[in-house]
Structure 1
Amino acid sequence: MNSSKEMMNSILILLLCVLLSSTSHASSITRQNFCKADLNRPNTPSGYQCLPSDTVTAADFKYSFNGKPGIPLPSKTLAFPATVLQLPILNGLGISVSLGEIEEGGFVPVHDHDADEIVMVLKGQLDVGILTPLKSYCNTLIPGESMVVPKGLLHYLINSGPGKAVFLAPFSNPNPVFRFLYEELFANDVPSRILSQVSFLDKPQVRKNKARFNGTG
């Protein structure tokens, strides 16, 4: 990626973060300009308590994905989150971001989360699909293109191009919760015969997926 594309991506990222910040629900945390989270205290509906502002340094506002361990998904995908847990200065701002890397032929399984999301492709090509009961909303994205995924809607991402795909995903929540459909269905103790009945799936497929995702029953 040349320097002009890198500059364009940096500008777009900043604009997206500002947009999410301005449209997110206002936090009830009382703060002047920033509130670095005290992660040693309990989290509350309004966020973490603030550390003394005189202990905050310039390094607290910087974050690098380089060298961070990714969270593997069972689909040739690594997720690198930057939530309030990794970047405590996000506390009270109502935003976070993740970097995703999907190997050729890989995908992010169907899931939803309690935050609005913007999927922005940095490298490669992604098919992004939003699922609703009556209609799907699908787009193919290339570098410099993005797609909005509203809160609570099931969606997926597929690397539909050659080579690795890399994307950035800002969220309107400092610590979004992800709910993967395969975990909800198969990583539980509901007996296979019952799960087959209520999910319209064949018993052999239910048992296969339960074994794959450490479910019982």
Structure 2
Amino acid sequence: MASKVTVFLVLLIHIYAVSSSDPDPVYDFCVPRTNLSSDALSCKNSTLVTVEDFVYSGIKSPGDFKETGFAATPVSSTVFPGLNTLGMSFVRADFAAGGVNVPHYHPRATEVGFVLEGKIYSGFIDTKNKVFARVLEKGEVMVFPRGLVHFQMNVGESPATILGSFDSQNPGLVKIPAAIFGSEIKDELLLKAFGFNSKELAKLRKHFES
């Protein structure tokens, strides 16, 4: 009986390990090409791959700033083919003075954020609602565990920039305010959950509607 339990536990651990990260690549690289006969992506012939497939210049400048004073330029294999099957992606995040990256999480990736410029109040919340946060300065790095809500705010007087790296080709992004108030969750539930009146909820709905 004990041996059966051991085998079962080993299988569970193996299944978890396999399902908890992107699959391992089976080639040195797989720069994608579109198969004209289907929507599936296949790899270019390696003889057609060039160094340009492994270089990306799209984050030299900030992206478009939102009303929160935040601009994000995500980089995945969709725009940077050389990343395909390598199990990673990244983002350039720029903050105006006082700019905020609203509470959000990535369901499929741990993130490492490196401060290139500025002072960023940065942190995450664990499943016991404990907040781990402090001001990061240029050259400092913070890790945000997969699936945990995290946030950033520029607390300096000048613009700030973070480079974020993910251990998944497709980390996913769920912004908490938009997910709650910009979705089709019934008003009755939200009114009871947050103690709003109908007018306050309608205002939030309008602000976060897609």
Same fold? TM cut 0.5: yes
| C-alpha contact (below 8 Å) 2:22/2:168 kept by paired residues | no
The question of 1:127 aligning with 2:121 is answered yes
Is contact 1:193–1:203 with CA below 8 Å preserved after alignment? Answer: no
TM-score normalized by structure 1? 0.78
Q: Specify the alignment match of 1:60 in structure 2.
A: 53
Give the length in aligned residue pairs: 187
Corresponding residue SS for 1:104: coil
Kindly indicate whether the alpha-carbon contact (under 8 Å) linking 2:59 and 2:73 is maintained by their aligned counterparts in 1.
no
Alignment of 1:74-113 (within 5 A): 74-113=67-106
Distance change (3 Å), C-alpha of 1:153 and 1:39? farther
Is residue 82–residue 96 contact of structure 1 (8 Å, CA) maintained in 2? yes
Q: Is the 8 A contact 2:122 2:134 kept in 1?
A: yes
Deviation at 1:29, TM superposition (A): 3.9
CA separation of 1:52/1:188 partners in 2, compared to 1, >3 Å: closer, same or farther?
A: same
- What TM-score does the superposition give when structure 2 sets the normalisation length? 0.80
8 A Cα contact 2:23 2:87, kept in partner: yes
1:206 equivalent in structure 2: 201
Contact 2:103–2:176 (CA<8 Å) still a contact in 1? Answer: yes
Distance in 1 between residues matched to 2:66 and 2:140, nearest whole Å: 24
In 1, the alpha carbon distance for the partners of 2:71 and 2:189 equals 33
Distance 1:81 1:187, change over 3 A: same
Rg larger in 1 or in 2? 2
Structure 1 gap segments, 5+ residues each: 1-23
Equivalent in 30, 34, 37 of residue 35 of structure 1: 30
Structure 1: how far apart are the matches of 2:111 and 2:77? 16
C-alpha distance in 2, partners of 1:69/1:125? 17
C-alpha separation in 1, matches of 2:26 and 2:121: 41
Please list the CA deviations of residues 113-171 of structure 1 after superposition, one character each: whole Å capped at 9, or x if unmatched.
02110111001110112012331100211110010001000010000111111110011
Cα separation, 2, equivalents of 1:74 and 1:192 = 25
- CA separation of 1:38 and 1:176: change in aligned 2, threshold 3 A: farther
- Identity among equivalent positions (%) equals 28
1:141 maps to: 136
